[in-house]
Amino acid sequence: MSISNLAPIPELYVSHESAQKLKVEAGDLPSWDLTPRQICDLELLMNGGFNPLKGFLDQADYDSVVERMRLEDGTLWPMPVTLDVSTEFADKIEIGQDIALRDQEGVILATMTVTSRWEPDKHREAEKVFGADDLAHPAVYYLHHTAGRIYLGGPVTGIQPPVHYDFRARRDTPNELRAYFRKLGWRRIVAFQTRNPLHRAHQELTFRAAKEAQANLLIHPVVGMTKPGDVDHFTRVRCYEAVLDKYPQATTTMSLLNLAMRMAGPREAVWHGLIRKNHGCTHFIVGRDHAGPGKNSAGEDFYGPYDAQELFRQYQDEIGIEMVDFRHMVYVQERAQYEPADEIEEGVTVLNISGTELRRRLAEGLEIPEWFSFPEVVAELRKTRPARSKQGFTVFFTGLSGSGKSTIANAVMVKLMEMGGRPVTLLDGDVVRKHLSSELGFSKEHRDINIRRIGYVASEITKNGGIAICAPIAPYSATRRGVREMIEAYGAFCEVHVATPLEECEARDRKGLYKLAREGKIKEFTGISDPYEAPETPELRVDTTGIDVDNCAQQVILKLEQMGLIAGR
């Protein structure tokens, strides 16, 4: 077998001397501050992880990749890697111009010659790349709500890699990994892609896969962007390090991949294969529902369990890497060991804990058996994910002006403070306006900014183990969803829709606002001249018509208890 997989591959960096010179010159160029996802993409462009790409895709390559998974010249490449920017920035750029690409601290990482500028058809991109234009898919949601409207394409000149202060010894470029494999005399290397902590079944599966392929094993977890709600990469890497000792010495290594996943299922599997090929691997484990994002809007899986394996098998010769099937491993109680599910005879007891069940046990502080996971891994997970009744959370009230949100929120705050155990902060609309958003008006844009600020503060409170209670009107569902995602990264989110009808709110009109809105003296007033988008699936809906505040607050407390967020003594 040739060892071309270990020869150096091209990178897009210039020499150290040229980089110093270029950095000075680039200081005068128009510059774009890269988003976290673009930083991940740029790093893999520059270090050869996205070889043969020489920069962000131009329009012809983009169209070709979206339609037929190939660059314009016919090379297999399944994922659009694009530089999305705002219309304001794009309007200032001429074709043929160089721009500086900066990280979030303002450090220039690269320059790019803009050869292409266009407004993509994002609905088509969603359909073709992700299989559906469905906002339940995190990458489709990103495409429509986060990504810029205009794409710029063109070759990139690398000046320096993004700086990572964490796990530096574990981060390798494709050429560093290839050199490491050469040095150890490894010729066949099977890569395992993961974005979740490794439990015993994964350890067993990867160990067997390497043994069957007669290959060394590279555990290659993604530490760029994964799916919202995933375990953070700091915890995951500590879990991986705990598992590394369980493999035979000198057969296995681990390296971190700074990839921004798109959760694109079959296309993503092919993409992962090409990336691993660039990192010097010869084999790749493709899992069931590889890189699947979970359920679509209709509650069904986005991709079939074996779609990714089928697409990968179709292209494996062209990728230049051999697929290793992910064997579903289960624990056989009688023999006290893991075995492939398809080889087990009838009549034996198979034990299994699903991901959902694992999360439940962590959330409720229940035992996680040693046959399922290593005690070291469980200990790391418990540090980051304490039992739910010890975690921070946010209660987010939304409803029309005068619906009773603030009154219930105050009552809930007092009840939670009476229980004790966690600090409670009330982020009421008027208080926030005074201290956080005094310069904002009441236009749609300003109201959105205000809600996002509330969400940000609530997410910090939640992250640090406190309870945040928010009571803004928050009329738009897209903004509420953004806030939910911000908070659910750190703890639970309980949305309470105070569904008091407009007539009742207007009849109360404590602040006289509805009267002014009807007279046209307040523009863009929610419920009168501006819409209120009622939540479709809040955790709780209450109506304060004819019901006293205490009863409504009690419903909220019972809901929090049901969600496991407050526990009996």
Which residues are known binding-site members for ATP?
399-406
> Which of the 8 DSSP states describes residue 214?
T
What one-letter code names the amino acid at 493? F
- Take residue 323 and report the two structure tokens written for it: 């697929």
How many CA atoms lie within 13 Å of 400's alpha carbon, on the beta-carbon side?
A: 28
> Which of the 8 DSSP states describes residue 170?
G
352 catalytic per annotation:
no
Report how far Cα 105 is from the mean position of its chain's Cα atoms: 22
Name the residue with tokens 């892609």.
193
Residues 196, 235, 407, 410: which is the catalytic one?
196
Please give the C-alpha separations between residue 380 and each of 160, 198, 242, 371, 553, in angstroms, as whole numbers.
33, 12, 9, 17, 36
Instruction: Order the strands of the 283-286 sheet from edge to edge.
Output: 252-254, 216-221, 189-194, 283-286, 322-325
Q: Which helix (H) or strand (E) holds 112?
A: strand 108-113
- Take residue 195 and report the two structure tokens written for it: 């974005």
Q: Which helix (H) or strand (E) holds 477?
A: helix 477-488
Burial class, 15, CB count within 10 angstroms (exposed 0-12 / middle 13-18 / buried 19+):
exposed
Residues 194, 394, 479, 526: which is the catalytic one?
194
Residue pair 522/516 in contact (Cβ under 8 Å)? The answer is yes
Residue pair 112/31 in contact (Cβ under 8 Å)? The answer is no
Question: Per the annotation, where are the binding residues?
Answer: 399-406
- What is 49-101 written as a DSSP string? TTTT--EE--HHHHHHHHHHSB-TTS-B--S---EEE-HHHHHT--TT-EEEE
Angle between helical axes of 375-384 and 233-244 (0-180°, round to 10): 170
- Take residue 185 and report the two structure tokens written for it: 């005399």
What one-letter code names the amino acid at 485? E
267 catalytic per annotation:
no
What's the N-to-C CA distance of the chain in angstroms? 65
195 catalytic per annotation:
yes
Residues 178, 195, 422, 447: which is the catalytic one?
195
- What is 269-327 written as a DSSP string? HHHHHHHHHHTT-SEEEE-TTTT---B-TTSSBSS-TTHHHHHHHHHHHHHT-EEEE--
Catalytic residues: 194-196
